[in-house]
Chain A
């Protein structure tokens, strides 16, 4: 029996935090690729400490719905899941290349496949692009557009900046957008000066965050100048210093993120049948035909 456990941060204050986790779990359930799909949280229930005891299967894939490799994926989650013998070297990662480690979870005395986070998987670049399609409502968006991928800088987590740069570079190589830039919230190049970094009249701004919350709904819109105060709201697109900014909100809310969760499990050996194709198809942006 094959089980998927999606682990995410959650929140004591904001119900939107767990919404993408539930949405992607539902998308994956609908594919039937797993006998069960469970969700566990740091700040909600079931907690990381107790989620595995709710799992029935014997082939268990744990996928962290987190943006980067770091404190949560390397310390908190393995500790709270009680993965015996975990050491970050199990992933043999350079900060971007975590794949999976198979370890016994002492809570249930069964092996689990502990996968790398969703945010650093190569398929996340597709989700960023899909997010740009969603927010512009144009499945072919790219020509005449710039794309800004935004996240924390190295101040909070060195790997956070690495992930942003990695995806920005990969998308740039596709020559789909006129320009692709990685911008940061707490270091140069800063998202506050977005129009200075782009020549394009239209720029899609995609924050590399899992869920909408303080950073994506208050911090970034105010820093970029989409609004004076987030409570006023803003339009999409909103013109700032002559640049039309298409603010996408957290990339993790894009339905295609479910595909990356599946990719992580597949990389760890899960048998998914046609689920990957199914999810890519069912989460597409309508072409308007």
Chain B
């Protein structure tokens, strides 16, 4: 997949961002002490560029009194190296507050849960860039795209991460001009309807409405917000990065269906996969869904349609596709017939224009008096007035022959 780099962290950029001053917060220092307490004296606690351990070097036997309570720093870079008191340690870590707060954010705030940790590290390229580079980039704001979301990560002067999440179309709009939210679960209401107030059955459809912002989220709440707007996308993206994405292809998915959906397995007749190409073109195109389709006809047979460029993968036909496939299974079981009626060349093209406009969701964009457009309402009403009989039959030709 296209593992894009954070936009402002490019070290080759002409402008070299400055590394911000960071104060060491008490909770980060306390977490270091707790972590050292939990370790054996010789077990080191690693930060970027240095480590800290409890106890005097070489005194791992017969530790007592001062030696047991002392700390050591390695490499010390001119600071005292061994026998540090808690106060000395605090001073030394304050000098290295960026590395310590970075450790604190990922080890204590973000925690172990794989998808959350990987996502938050990816945002600032924590597995590729140094603390110094990242903090400098965060000070200016690191921007990431996730579906239609724009995520901007920053760092406070205490080394805490803060995130601004909004619709990408709202980039650059001041926070006070948008509806601001704090609770990730509020995002549920933002994803239910599109801009025109229509229910969105597919969360990853590119129809997310804008006008809102989560201006100041912590790391965990950022993850929850993204997972609320695009459910399970981070989990699947994470599995893919770990080379563990479990893709279930079309055939297997349809074979699994039961109840009213059991019929869909009969649509595969061992005569190729053109019908599934049409399904993917209809439902899974980037214009319809932001997931990148990774499923194919079966393990050995790729579809002829492109899977798209989305950041997060689609690992099996979704429930919207399965439901639509059920309908198509019934419709496609019909045999074609020859109907005969006359159209002018322009009328044939107009029918094509109408199909295009509906398929591309463009009907609302066609202006009322723009009769140059085939899918214009007046043009379409004219076509209906001219070509439909009183029963609504195109060209006056009944759908069923015996209706004549």
Contacts and interface: CB of A to CB of B under 8 A. Distances in A.
A223 interface: no
B207 interface: no
B188 interface: yes
Contact of B231 (A12, A22, A46, A71): A46
Given A76-B258, A76-B259, A50 B201 contact: no
Interface stretch (A37-45, A201-209, A233-241): A37-45
Interface string B209-235: 000000000000000000100011001
Interface in B141-159: none
B185 A50 contact: no
Interface string A59-91: 000000000000100011001000000000000
Nearest to A22: B188
For chain B, give the interface size range: 20 to 34
B239 interface: yes
Contacts of A97: none
A12 B320 CA distance: 7
B121 to A, nearest CB: 17
A187 interface: no
Interface residues of A, number: 24
B236 A53 contact: yes
Given A12-B201, A12-B323, A50 B232 contact: yes
B192 A15 contact: yes
B259 A46 contact: no
Nearest to B191: A45
B193 A15 contact: yes
B232 A15 contact: no
Interface in B7-48: none
B268 to A, nearest CB: 20
B318 interface: yes
Contacts of B188: 22
B204 to A, nearest CB: 8
Interface string A6-23: 000001111100000010
B319 A54 contact: no
A40 B319 CA distance: 13
B316 interface: yes
Contacts of A44: 201, 203, 319
- In order of increasing CB-CB distance, the 4 nearest A-B pairs are A46-B231, A12-B201, A50-B232, A45-B231
17 contacts: A12-B320, A13-B199, A13-B201, A14-B199, A15-B192, A43-B201, A43-B323, A44-B203, A46-B232, A53-B232, A53-B236, A54-B115, A54-B227, A54-B235, A76-B258, A76-B259, A79-B256
